[in-house]
Structure 1
Amino acid sequence: MAGRLTDEIVLITGAARGIGRAIAAKAVEEGAAVGLLDVLADELAATTENLRKTGARVFSAVGDITDETSVRRVVDQVVAELGPVTILVNNAGKNSYADATTMTVEEWDSVFDVDLKGAWLMARAVLPGMIESRQGSIVNIASIHSHLTTAGMFPYAAAKSGLVGMTRSLALDVAPHNIRVNAVSPGFIATEGLEQFFETMPGAREAALQVHPLGRIGTPEEVAEVVCFLASQAATFVTAANWSIDGGLTARYA
C-alpha cells in the first residue's frame, strides 16, 4: 500500500489533531508532501514536528478557513514551499448543539462558515492550479449526520448535508478537467470531540457501543485509510461519492 501518494502535494485543514492529524500521518506514510492548516497553533506545531521526524516534506500554517484572505495566504505559502496542491482534504469542522428557537444568527453563521463556506473557499483557492494541470482530488469530511441525525445537534446536520451536496455539484463541474471530488461521512470516531461528548452525556458511550454492528467505535486512522484511498490514483473512477465510515451504524433500522 505504501507509496500511493508519492509526488502528491496534500493540503489538509483541521490538521492539528484527531482525524486531520491521522490523515496527515497516513499521507506522509504514503509518500506525499503535506501542508497543514489549523487555528490551534500549539497543537499544529506539535503535529508538524512529529511528522517532520519521518523525513517528509511538511509545511504548516495557522489560518482561518472562513476568511478568504487567510485562505489565499496559506494556499500561496503551501505552493511556494511544497508546490502546487494536487489533493485537498477539507477536514476542519465545527459541531453544534443549539436550539433552533434561541440560536442567534451569529451562532448559525459560525457553524456554516466552518462546515460549508470554508470548504468552498479552500476549493476555490486550489482549483485553478488543478485545472491548469488537469489533475487533482478533493475529499470533504462530512458526517453521517448528512443523511441522518439526532435531536440536540441543530443545525449540524444541515451544514453537513450542504457539504455533501456541494461535493456532488462541484464534482460535476470539475470532472471535465480530470478532477475528482468526493466526501466521506464518519460516524462515531474516537476523537477528542467525541470523548468530550461522552463525558457530558451519561450513558452515551454504552448506548453507542450497543447500536454499532461492529461493536466498537472507529479510529481516526481508519478514516484516514479511506480518505487517502479516495484521494489517490487507486480511485480514479470514483467521484461525486459519499462514503460512510460508520461501522455499519447507518444500516440499522432502529
Structure 2
Amino acid sequence: MDLGLRGRTVIVTGASGGVGLATAAMSLAEGASVAACARDGVRLARALEPLPRADGARLFHASCDVTDAEAVRRFAEAAAGELGGIDGLVNNAGRSLMAGAGETTPEQWRDEFELKIFGVLNPLRAALPYLTRSPVGAIVNVNAILARQPEPRLAATSAARAALLNLTKTLSAELAPVRVNSVCLGLIDTGQWRRRFEASGEPSYEAWTGALAADRGIALGRLGRAEEAAYAIVMLLSPLASYITGASLDVGGGVSRYA
C-alpha cells in the first residue's frame, strides 16, 4: 500500500535506535525524506548509514538535545532548508526512570517532565511554522501505555507520560488542521530489554521475554518489535489518516489492565 508520503519530509527525534530508527527506516522506504536527530551524533550517523531509501527520499541528520530549545530551533531550520519544508514530526526521544515515587529525587522529577513535556514542546514549536504551511501537517507523539496504566517502579515516568497524553489531546484541538496523535507503546524489544536480559543471568531470551510478557498481562505473549511500532507511527503521519486527530493508538500486544 502506498501511504502517500512520497515527496514529504518528516522529522524523527530519538532516531539512533529502537522505534525511532525503525520509524526513520520505514519513512525512507515509503519515499519520505527524513530529518533525524539524537543526542549522540556519531551513533546516529552509524545507525542511519545503511538504511535503504526509495527513489527521491533524502536524509538529513544532526546531533540535537530536544530539551535545548535553541538547538532544536536550529535543527528544524536546517532540516527545512535542506529538505524543503516539514510535513510531519515524530516526537520519539525518551527514556524511563526506574524508581518508585519515594526514591525519586526532586531533580529526577524535573528531569522526567523536562524530557517528556519540553522534549515534545521544543520540537513542536520549532516545526510548527513549517507544519502549518503543509497541506498534510501531522505530529505523532510517541508515548507509553504507562500514561494510562502507571507502574509503581516507574513513578515519575508514568506521571510524565500521563501529562503528555493529556497535552496531546489539547494540542490536537488547538493546532488543527495540523493533526496531533499519540502512539502508546507497551513492551517493545529494544536494546534496553536485551541489556536487562544479559544482566539477569537467564539462559534463554525467548523464555525470559515470554515470562515477562505473562507477568505484564500481554495477551499476545511476547514483546513487540520496533517495526510494529513504527508502522503505527508512519500510518498516522500518512495523508491516508487525514481524518484522525486527537487519537491514542495502543501498540502493546493486548495489555488491558486499565479501563
C-alpha spacing 1:102/1:186, structure 2 compared with 1 (3 Å):
closer
- For the residue of structure 1 that corresponds to 2:115, the secondary structure is helix
- Could you tell me which residue of structure 1 aligns to residue 205 of structure 2? none
- Could you tell me which residue of structure 2 aligns to residue 185 of structure 1? 184
Moved more, 188-197 or 56-65: 188-197
Deviation at 1:201, TM superposition (A): 5.7
Residues 166-195 of structure 1, C-alpha deviations (whole Å, 9 max, x = no match): 1100000011xx210000011011001232
- Could you tell me which residue of structure 2 aligns to residue 62 of structure 1? 63
TM-score by length of 1: 0.92
- For the residue of structure 1 that corresponds to 2:182, the secondary structure is strand
- For the residue of structure 2 that corresponds to 1:155, the secondary structure is helix
* Residue 25 (1) aligns with residue 43 (2): no
TM-score by length of 2: 0.90
Deviation at 1:252, TM superposition (A): 7.8
Amino acid at match of 2:112: V
Residues 90-131 of structure 1, C-alpha deviations (whole Å, 9 max, x = no match): 000021112433422222222111122110111111112222
Deviation at 1:198, TM superposition (A): 4.0
CA contact (8 A) 1:144 1:250 kept: no
Q: How does 1:1-254 map to 2 (within 5 A)?
A: 1-2=1-2, 4-51=4-51, 56-175=57-176, 178-200=177-199, 205-210=209-214, 211-250=217-256
Moved more, 38-47 or 206-215: 206-215
Identical-residue share of aligned pairs (%): 34
Equivalents in 1 of 2:149, 2:220: separation in Å?
A: 19
Residues 202-242 of structure 1, C-alpha deviations (whole Å, 9 max, x = no match): 78634323232112211000011111111101111110011
C-alpha spacing 1:252/1:208, structure 2 compared with 1 (3 Å):
farther
Equivalents in 2 of 1:48, 1:206: separation in Å?
A: 30
CA contact (8 A) 2:137 2:178 kept: yes
Equivalents in 2 of 1:132, 1:149: separation in Å?
A: 37
* Unaligned 5+ runs, structure 2: 203-207
CA contact (8 A) 1:218 1:246 kept: yes
Equivalents in 2 of 1:45, 1:20: separation in Å?
A: 13
Moved more, 115-124 or 42-51: 42-51
Equivalents in 2 of 1:252, 1:101: separation in Å?
A: 23
